[in-house]
Chains A and B, each alone.
Chain A
């Protein structure tokens, strides 16, 4: 209930922001600037969404690289998010940006009904509609290992990731306080249902960082989502965190021996949102409408195993476009993979961004000191 009342508040906060965005500079009818996360994910989006949309609407879709966080949106100009129209954001970032009035309010009525006529409101999974966007896919940040590095016993659990004795070698982690604190605490045997309660205390944070200390010298940091696979392929690391779709792609399309550890997979959502100052609001809305059509979402899911958030799209998921692997089995939401999943608490994430970042920076700084 809290969430809804807060969302309502944000909604009203966002109204004056939209009124200000009237100054239109760009030739809005011709180009749409969309952010994307690069690599195999971008390739799949290009094939399923960007190219067909450009053709259908007769516009140019220009892509901008974005690696998460709300910071770029706060900066205007070419280096920041000043020119962006459509954003593909994680749910916590979208909630935080919406709360700061950096996103345009979103009207779910602009979404198309399912092919059988079911209205979008019923077709999307519950909780998919936010005040500033629509949740369009479920992805997972997972741990994976290079199969060549462990010819004998294979790592199976999150605790194994922190076990340098049984599984020695460098580990790649994203240079963000996302998922890694949860994993660190999980490796103590804390039940998943209590993770966020414990991580909310200073003691929990300290314990998590203490566990990270154990592997501090072995960490290779990455920022761009395509790096973990490259690091594993070049044998620079033996284990890495990364997005499940990229690891799938590496193995199925590029034949790199990467295996996903589903234990402690960190589920998160991706959101289509429109920037507050976007000069092409209408075009942006029609793009989101296009990209959330059931058949387009399913086409995307045939390229990379990220779960669509509408029922009619899930019903259309079949085999991988190139290798004929059944895609449902590789989705983070497959029942077998879901058994030990961490469902990220987006609201907690949105509101603890500052404190998590501060703790993380301090911990990184200790590194230089020692």
Chain B
């Protein structure tokens, strides 16, 4: 059995690792935070130049034609640039984001190339800068991933260092984006690492704190979201928050299914891939002429949603539907960006809609629209990103209100439960499942499901022809100490398995063909270690043949013990990673 890597560090190794991991966390935290601030600044700069932000639009209010043509053309032009980048420069042909990060960390595989990552980030800046209705946090998470993977070149000689560095980068990105270091730390564990080892916890925490220090203390970035709230006044409101959670889960599922469906429709459509984002941009521009709220991230609309009376009921419903439609279109048609910020906006509008509707249509006493808006915001977002704890903490760190956090908690927990049962852990996980990686049964099965049995094949197995005599077969099996052999025709086609036990029931002069078990368990070139493990349950033989599906030729044989070894090795490596102290 292969020894798990990185076992049993000595005293000096422990000291080295503590120092190296802390330094790694600090450096990654500072670097990601600076890059994330740069990313946001680039987007803001483009928004200002391209007349996307309300603050510049109003300054050109006199020139209505200029504002209207910018609204129509800027997202389309941005879409064209993004389409061309993915068509000609990025081999993956699609934006990279949290699913790629999760896959790399969960299956211990290398993420897509640095070049693809940088170009994808550039495309996200162009998308967001030109007002596309997509999120900024997904690209920021991937920015953290990019910095994290740089640690691979450092030769630190610490086990699991790539996953830890990526998680640190992601934690710093979220910590900077939301001014929420605790949420950043939890997000990295909940969504990316999916385990809590001390070895990963320490550098992730350091990186998260470093990101917060850079964003808050050095650059004094304003908080994303500030809202005053006096407190929940009635006990029965917690039941209402739960109702908001349930309804939000349904909305979140509609949002996620629509994104997946729109992507599928786009893939089947005859529109060339390079032009798809431009089409989405044009539609967005037309909608934005009437409803400028749908442009970009919509920070202003987010804030208005918590102000009582800022919207009429029908206005809320209209903006909600419009925002969701253009977001689904932008994401499905290939703009680069996340699902997180639009989910926040859709959720807060939905929450405000429920709160205001209750106010208008019923006589239930309640404490204003704010807690419902916030509950809706997090209860729609949490199922989408699959991070209930992190979203609850974001509310806590943004609002510093204990009451709002408890209200949000009630809504989030129900929303997550329902969506988990009816849809999946998160949009990211469902997207990965679409690409063939199922993380729903844990990462062990995902890793084993990626490994094929062809890599475990063994050549040293006795082979016979169907017309060989049984006595020859028994002698040769005895010579090499085996009880099983494989039967192959002269042209290489596989026939079956011959066992010493079944030979005993025949005369020595009979042919091997008569004693061959033609229905024995067999694998093919696509069989994974995970499938092999499942198939070997209750199996009593020694070896399993691997047979080509196309021409039934024998490719090799896999001894049972090798499959079990491979399984144990993976499980041990994961167990060790998830329990590593330093």
Contact = CB atoms under 8 A, between A and B. Distances in A.
Interface string B278-320: 0000000000000010000001100110010111000000000
Nearest to B225: A191
A197 B48 contact: no
A253 interface: no
A214 to B, nearest CB: 11
B444 interface: no
A351 B59 contact: yes
Contacts of A201: 54, 58, 292, 300, 304
A201 B311 CA distance: 13
B310 A207 contact: yes
A366 interface: no
Contact of B303 (A2, A196, A198, A354): A198
B54 A194 contact: no
A348 interface: yes
Contact of B226 (A191, A200, A210): A191
A189 interface: yes
Contacts of A191: 222-223, 226
Interface in A170-199: 188-191, 193-194, 196-198
Contacts of A200: 53-55, 57-58, 300
B310 A189 contact: no
Interface in B51-65: 53-55, 57-59, 61-62
B481 interface: no
A196 B222 contact: no
B303 A190 contact: yes
Given A197-B54, A198-B303, A189 B309 contact: no
Contacts of B62: 354-355
Contacts of A207: 304, 307, 309-310
B270 interface: no
Contact of A355 (B58, B227, B304, B310): B58
A76 interface: no
B300 A348 contact: no
B228 interface: yes
B59 A190 contact: no
B222 A193 contact: yes
Nearest to A189: B228
Contacts of A118: none
A190 B310 CA distance: 12
Give the interface size bracket for B toward A. 20 to 34
Contacts of A189: 227-228, 307
Contacts of B57: 200
Give the interface size bracket for A toward B. 20 to 34
Given A190-B307, A191-B226, A193-B222, A204 B300 contact: yes
Contacts of A194: 222, 226, 299-300, 303
A352 interface: yes
Contacts of B55: 196-197, 200, 348
A85 B62 CA distance: 31
Nearest to A196: B55
Contacts of B307: 188-190, 207
A197 B309 contact: no
A355 to B, nearest CB: 5
A352 B54 CA distance: 12
Contacts of B227: 189
A203 B59 contact: no
Interface in A194-244: 194, 196-198, 200-201, 203-204, 207, 210
B61 A198 contact: no
B302 to A, nearest CB: 10
Interface string A255-293: 000000000000000000000000000000000000000
B228 to A, nearest CB: 4
A141 B80 CA distance: 48
B229 to A, nearest CB: 9
A196 B299 CA distance: 12
A191 B227 CA distance: 8
Contact of A348 (B59, B226, B228): B59
Contacts of A196: 55
A198 B300 contact: yes
A66 B223 CA distance: 40
A352 B304 contact: no
Contact of A352 (B58, B223, B228): B58
A210 B310 CA distance: 10
A52 B48 CA distance: 47
Contacts of A193: 222-223, 226
Contacts of B226: 191, 193-194
A200 B54 CA distance: 5
Residue from A2, A190, A354 whose CB has the most chain B CB atoms within 10 Å: A190
A197 B300 contact: yes
11 contacts: A2-B48, A193-B223, A197-B299, A198-B300, A200-B54, A203-B310, A204-B300, A207-B304, A207-B310, A351-B59, A352-B59
Given A200-B58, A207-B307, 4 more contacts: A194-B299, A196-B55, A198-B300, A201-B300
Q: Closest 4 CB pairs between A and B?
A: A191-B226, A200-B54, A193-B222, A351-B59
